[in-house]
Amino acid sequence: MRSGFTVCAGLSGIGFVVLAIVINAVYIRGRLPMPVAGNGFEAVAANYAEVGTALRRPSVAAPAGWLFLTIFAAGLLAVSWHGGSGPQAWALVGFAGVLMQNVTFACVEALRFGLATAAAQHRESMPALWTLSNVLFGFNQLFLATALLGFTATGVLTSPWQTTVGYLSAALLFLSSSAAPYNATATSRLAFLGGIGWLGWATWIIANSIALVRL
């Protein structure tokens, strides 16, 4: 069953996770502001006022990450669903979740530049933009949960431990997403659930990517 497309999809999944880790490392090392930083607004505003053009470097790689994730999800869809309305049709739900997360996170990424501009030129608009960024970032976790739920429910390329990781991570991401309105200032006590869920999501992607490469 091995094909060039499934191998490409598997490598794309691995590439997405590696790229996501690298981008987050750049943000942390450069002390660039993130929606989940948990800092007070004054600290966030000062941080955004100082970053200048530093936001551009990690964001240059973001489109490649979204492309990798889409190809990976298309690979899972190709091997999971072949028409009909059986259990494998859940793959359509998973693919929809990936597409929605790409669109939503592109908005989150763009908001960072809006915040940087507001910090330098129009401080009064920062609270609204910061709140929008935090809540949208939180709601985005719903689409990660949707992707995990859909593809895991198909039962394709999923070992028992992957199934457990998939459903558990989806549940954590869903709970974190539901608490997004309470994380408007990035100080929610439930925000850590999203971080744990994301680690599970990354692990699940690597495992399924390896399975795709081996098909």
Q: What is the pLDDT of residues 78-127, one digit of tens each?
A: 999 988 888 899 999 999 999 999 999 999 999 988 988 888 888 888 88
- pLDDT tens-digit profile of 51-87? 777 788 888 999 999 999 999 999 999 999 988 888 8
Task: Tell me how far CA of residue 48 lies from CA of 29, 123, 133, 183, in angstroms.
Answer: 15, 10, 13, 19
Winning range, highest mean pLDDT, from 17-31, 46-60, 84-98, 184-198? 84-98
Who's near 197: CB < 8 A, 6+ residues apart?
A: 141, 144, 145, 169, 170, 171, 172, 173, 176
Model-level pTM? 0.90
Give residue for tokens 């949707």.
Answer: 146
As a whole number of angstroms, the distance between CA 74 and CA 95 comes to 7
The b-or-e profile of 76-95 (16+ CB within 10 A means b, else e) is bbbbbbeeeeeebbbbbebb
For 24-74, the DSSP string reads HHHHHHTT---TTS---HHHHHHHHHHHGGGGHHHHHTHHHHHHHHHHHHH
The residue extents of the domains of the chain are 4-214
Rounded Cα–Cα distance for residues 148 and 208 (Å)? 11
Tokens read off for 8: 């490409």
